[in-house]
């Protein structure tokens, strides 16, 4: 097969392709009947579990009580019966290793009974603990080979569910993945720990404000998932997309996103059919997906669920990512979750909407109906202000991946500098308190007095500032720097733990000031807020986060860190202040943090090494041959013309030849750079790859892309940006 067939045949295949309609119709099955039908949820448990067992499990789920192991047999049995009635033959402990992906190991329910028959078996101990042969998952030195076992532990708080396949179904049990010493090897374990930490600290605050009911405070997440869809034929004609998740070459399309005609535009029929199929599957799994729309870039879309408790929202987001990918295949497309599949075109993020809530209070970031609630609201916001400032490097580190670096700070996504957007109203209140003045009425009449008599605050944050990495949006904060491809667990672990720390700091201060005298609460609140604003107020910024002026001001005047790349950011996970924070709340040990730093740096390095190898290979095997063929044609034409004495300009030939020569030189340079890669530690390697290899790859790309602009179209074998983005 000649090289150019890959692109041309992709186009032919797409032209002849009839996209399938969604394989079901919402007209036949109502979404309400569908929702959660494959989930071992509360209703199923109530129906099928002995009352005592049901109550005990509920207590663990709702109040965080320690799981009573004696109930496991009963639950396992009910789960098995339920799953087998739904056609399941196997069960799997689903876990979330540090690769960021979802992992599963399948076991059959059937066991031989010794008489030539098989019986269905699933006992409590199989439910509670599994031992996948998972020694090849990254562990950053936590597991020496002789103790390479990792265990999965049943997470009662995230419901089991059934996954359907064309050839059968199986029961999925969400689990934590830990070493035999109990060290976290996954993304879930620290999240469960961080949830406990923030609950405890938040309750201290609620108690100071008069609520000592001990009701659990939970953190919630609503992740808005962005993604690209392209036809699968194009995907398979682009080795870079397949292997690296992003295009390493590609000239800018004539039509990009400048016209903004895609955003919220009508969803193409093929895509709509895909989306409905995705929703159909996710409804069955009890994932409350709610919104779907086109995004800014051509070929880019978003799916967002209604927010849920953090642990469940995290598992559900993993299901969303898996489902998007598998359903895309069914519809003849590939779903790209990479943060920047196409240079120069908007990338994909995952806005993490975050709140803390408690039954009876709703969101603790919701301005209240009366003065006490408002003061409490301000205290929770103050905790966020202190946290984001004090731990801004950590927040940058938990969104650091090789792929997200291409998006952050690229004038479409928040900058790598962390700041908080509060909106004008809320900022004014905080400034007034800092100045020692009571907030005065504004033209809207919302704010009248000091904390002690604050009237209802405006619920709407006003302008929706899209350039802020951490924005208050009325009743929650939106962390916008998270990458589309990442698990949302890491960011939530960090946010919950830093807020726990700030709430404890505030509780200590309030208690010390009041000395047991409740009447001093308002003065104490004012003082704590003033102190926090004096020390951490420079993190508040309501302006344009994309502007150069802000970058200058943030770093030079406000002293905010600007960790531009993941190579700078990831090592922060092991910094003394971060170790102190996480060990204080028993969310991570130092060893666990060090292992994560190492794993994330290794992943960063691996991503760039893979990309560099692909750049070299594609330049040599895809771009060079096409350009040389064109060069040959041009040279022959010139020679022929010369023989018959017709003047013919050699400009194009010279241009192609120059660009080819430059590209070759750049490839040689890149190869040299990769050969000289240091081997004295992952951190040095990361810095080197970031500062040396990435620019050298761009150099190759520069010439390759400029060749794409001149080489005959029929000789160019990689599908172009406009084809991939616009042909559906």
Q: Which residue ranges make up the site for Mg ion (CB under 5 A)?
A: 351
Q: How far is the CB of 539 from ligand ADP (least distance, A)?
A: 21
Give the nearer residue to ligand ADP in terms of CB position, either 311 or 720. 311
Q: Judged by CB, which is closer to ligand ADP: 92, or 219?
A: 219
Q: How far is the CB of 475 from ligand ADP (least distance, A)?
A: 5
Q: Cα dist. 460→25, 310, 389, 422, 447 in Å?
A: 38, 24, 24, 11, 14
List alpha helices for 304-415, DSSP H: 310-330, 371-390, 392-397
Stretch that binds ligand ADP, among 226-234, 301-309, 524-532, 612-620 (CB under 6 A): 301-309
Task: State the nearest-atom distance from the C-beta of 546 to Mg ion, in Å.
Answer: 17
Q: Residue 355 binds what, of ligand ADP, Mg ion, none (CB under 5 to 8 Å, by partner type)?
A: ligand ADP
Distance CA(578)–CA(415), nearest Å, equals 22
- The DSSP symbol for 118 reads E
**Measured between alpha carbons, how far is 12 from 9 in angstroms, rounded to an integer?**
5
Query: Which residues sit opposite 470 in a β-bridge?
Result: 420, 479
Q: Smallest distance, Å, CB 309 to ligand ADP?
A: 10
Shortest distance (Å) from residue 306 CB to ligand ADP: 4
d(CA 639, CA 648): 9
Q: How far is the CB of 396 from Mg ion (least distance, A)?
A: 20
Residue number, 355 or 565, with CB nearest to Mg ion? 355
Using Cβ positions, the residue closest to Mg ion within the complex turns out to be 351
**CB of 607 closer than 8 Å to CB of 340:** no
542 binding partner (options Mg ion, ligand ADP, none; Cβ < 5 to 8 Å by kind): none
When CB distances are held under 5 to 8 angstroms depending on the partner's kind, the choice from Mg ion, ligand ADP, none that residue 307 binds is ligand ADP
Residue 220 interacts, among Mg ion, ligand ADP, none and using kind-specific CB cut-offs from 5 to 8 Å, with ligand ADP
- For 606, half-sphere exposure in the C-beta direction (CA atoms, 13 angstrom radius) is 9
**For residues 201 and 469, what is the distance between their CA atoms, to the nearest angstrom?**
25
Burial of residue 85 (number of CB atoms within 10 Å: 0-12, 13-18, 19+): exposed
Residue 199 binds to ligand ADP (criterion: CB under 6 A): no
Q: For ligand ADP, give the closer residue by CB, 82 or 228.
A: 228
- Return the residues of window 353-372 that contact ligand ADP according to CB under 6 A: 353-355, 363
Choose the one of ligand ADP, Mg ion, none that binds residue 363, judging by a C-beta under 5 to 8 angstroms depending on kind.
ligand ADP
CB of 351 to Mg ion, least distance (A): 4
State which residue, 238 or 351, has the beta carbon closest to Mg ion.
351
Query: Binding of ligand ADP at residue 264 (CB under 6 A)?
Result: no
DSSP for 680-715? S-HHHHHHHIIIIIHHHHHHHHHHHHHHHTTS-GGG
Q: What is the closest distance, in whole angstroms, from the C-beta atom of residue 418 to ligand ADP in the complex? A: 19
Give the footprint of ligand ADP on residues 316-355 (CB under 6 A). 351, 353-355
Q: Which is nearer to ligand ADP, 197 or 358 (CB)?
A: 358
> C-alpha angle with apex 603: 468 to 576, nearest 5 degrees?
65
Residue nearest to ligand ADP (CB): 222
Q: Would you count residue 414 as binding ligand ADP (CB under 6 A)? A: no
Q: Tell me which residue has tokens 């990495």.
A: 469
For residue 263, count CB atoms less than 10 angstroms from its CB and return exposed for 0-12, middle for 13-18, buried for 19 or more. middle
C-beta of residue 514 within 8 angstroms of C-beta of residue 374: no
CA dihedral of residues 529, 533, 536, 542 (deg, nearest 10): 120
The β-bridge partners of 217 are 358
Q: Which two tokens stand for residue 108?
A: 């059959």
Residue 291 near ligand ADP by CB under 6 A: yes
Q: Residue 56 or residue 475: which is nearer to ligand ADP going by CB?
A: 475
Q: Are 308 and 298 in contact (CB under 8 A)?
A: no
Residues 503-562 that bind ligand ADP (CB under 6 A): none
CB of 478 to ligand ADP, least distance (A): 6
From the list ligand ADP, Mg ion, none, partner contacted by residue 582 (C-beta under 5 to 8 A by kind): none
Decide if 588 contacts 582 (C-beta within 8 A).
yes
> Least distance to Mg ion from the beta carbon of 464, Å?
8
Binding pattern for the stretch 200-239 against ligand ADP, x by CB under 6 A and - elsewhere: --------------------x-x-x---------------
**Torsions phi, psi for 363 (to 5 deg):** -70, 135
Instruction: Please identify, using beta-carbon distances, which residue of 77 and 492 lies nearer to ligand ADP.
Output: 492
Q: How many residues in the shown chain lie near ligand ADP by CB under 6 A?
A: 15
Binds ligand ADP (CB under 6 A): choice among 300, 475, 542, 720: 475
When asked if residue 496 is in the footprint of ligand ADP (CB under 6 A), the reply is: no
Phi/psi at 141 (nearest 5 deg)?
Answer: 85, 0
Residue (76 or 378) nearer to ligand ADP, CB:
378
- How many residues are listed for the chain in this entry? 728
C-alpha span between 168 and 155 (Å, rounded): 24
Q: Given the rule CB under 6 A, which residues bind ligand ADP?
A: 220, 222, 224, 291, 304-307, 351, 353-355, 363, 475-476
């Amino acid at each position: 097969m000649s090289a150019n067939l890959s692109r041309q045949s992709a186009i032919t295949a797409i032209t002849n392709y009839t996209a399938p309609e969604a394989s079901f119709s919402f007209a036949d099955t109502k979404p309400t009947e569908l929702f959660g039908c494959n989930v071992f949820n509360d209703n199923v448990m109530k129906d099928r579990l002995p009352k005592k067992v049901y109550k005990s499990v509920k207590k663990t789920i709702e109040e965080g009580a320690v799981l009573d192991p004696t109930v496991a047999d009963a639950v396992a049995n009910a789960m098995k019966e339920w799953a087998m009635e739904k056609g399941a033959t196997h069960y799997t402990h689903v876990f979330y290793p540090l690769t960021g992906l979802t992992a599963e190991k399948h076991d059959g329910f059937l066991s031989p009974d010794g008489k030539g028959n098989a019986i269905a078996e699933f006992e409590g101990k199989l439910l509670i603990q599994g031992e996948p042969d998972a020694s090849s998952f990254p562990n950053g030195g936590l597991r020496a080979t002789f103790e390479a076992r990792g265990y999965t532990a049943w997470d009662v708080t995230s419901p089991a569910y059934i996954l359907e396949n064309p050839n059968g179904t199986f029961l999925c049990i969400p689990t934590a993945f830990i070493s035999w010493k109990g060290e976290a090897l996954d993304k879930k374990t620290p999240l469960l720990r961080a949830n406990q930490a923030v609950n405890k600290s938040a309750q201290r605050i609620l108690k100071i404000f008069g609520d000592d009911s001990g009701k659990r405070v939970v953190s919630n997440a609503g992740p808005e998932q962005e993604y690209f869809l392209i036809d699968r034929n194009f995907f398979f004609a682009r080795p870079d997309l397949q292997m690296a998740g992003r295009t390493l070459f590609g000239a800018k399309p004539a039509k990009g996103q400048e016209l903004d005609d895609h955003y919220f535009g009508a969803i193409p029929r093929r895509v709509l059919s895909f989306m409905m199929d995705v929703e159909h599957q996710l409804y069955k799994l009890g994932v409350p997906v709610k919104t779907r729309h086109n995004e800014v870039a051509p070929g880019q879309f978003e799916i967002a669920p209604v927010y849920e408790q953090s642990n469940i929202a995290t598992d559900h987001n993993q299901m969303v990512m898996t489902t998007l990918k598998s359903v895309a295949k069914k519809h003849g497309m590939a779903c790209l979750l990479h943060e920047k599949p196409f240079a120069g075109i908007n990338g994909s993020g995952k806005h993490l909407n975050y709140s803390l809530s408690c039954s009876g209070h709703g969101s603790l970031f919701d301005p209240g109906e009366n003065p006490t609630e408002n003061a409490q609201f301000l205290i929770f916001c103050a905790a966020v202000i202190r946290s984001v400032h004090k731990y801004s490097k950590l927040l940058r580190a938990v969104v650091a991946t090789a792929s997200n670096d291409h998006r952050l700070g690229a004038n479409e996504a928040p900058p790598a500098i962390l700041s908080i957007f509060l909106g004008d109203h809320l900022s004014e209140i905080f400034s007034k308190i800092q100045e020692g003045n009571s907030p005065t009425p504004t033209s809207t009449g919302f704010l009248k007095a000091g904390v002690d008599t604050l009237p209802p605050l405006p619920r709407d944050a006003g302008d929706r500032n899209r350039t802020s990495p951490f924005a208050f949006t009325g009743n929650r904060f939106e962390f916008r720097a998270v990458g589309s491809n990442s698990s949302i667990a890491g960011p939530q672990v960090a946010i919950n733990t830093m807020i726990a720390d700030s709430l404890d700091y505030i509780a200590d201060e309030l208690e010390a000031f009041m000395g047991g005298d409740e009447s001093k609460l308002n003065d104490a609140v004012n003082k704590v807020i003033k102190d926090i604003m004096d020390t951490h107020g420079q993190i508040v910024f309501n302006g344009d986060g994309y502007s150069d002026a802000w970058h200058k001001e943030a770093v030079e005047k406000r002293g905010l860190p600007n960790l531009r790349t993941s190579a700078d950011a990831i090592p922060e996970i092991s910094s003394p202040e971060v170790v102190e924070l996480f060990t204080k709340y028993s969310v991570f040990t130092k060893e666990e943090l060090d292992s994560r730093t190492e794993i994330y740096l290794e992943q960063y390095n691996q991503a760039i090494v893979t990309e560099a190898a692909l750049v070299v290979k594609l330049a040599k095997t895809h771009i060079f041959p096409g350009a040389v063929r064109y060069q040959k044609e041009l040279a022959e034409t010139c020679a022929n013309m010369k023989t018959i004495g017709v003047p013919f300009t050699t400009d194009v030939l010279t241009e192609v030849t120059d660009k080819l020569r430059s590209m070759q030189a750049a490839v040689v340079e890149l190869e040299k750079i990769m050969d000289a890669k240091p081997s004295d530690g992952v951190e040095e390697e990361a810095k080197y790859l970031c500062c040396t290899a990435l620019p050298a790859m761009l150099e190759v790309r520069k010439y390759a892309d400029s060749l794409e602009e001149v080489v005959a179209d029929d000789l160019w074998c990689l599908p172009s940006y406009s084809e991939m983005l616009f042909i559906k």
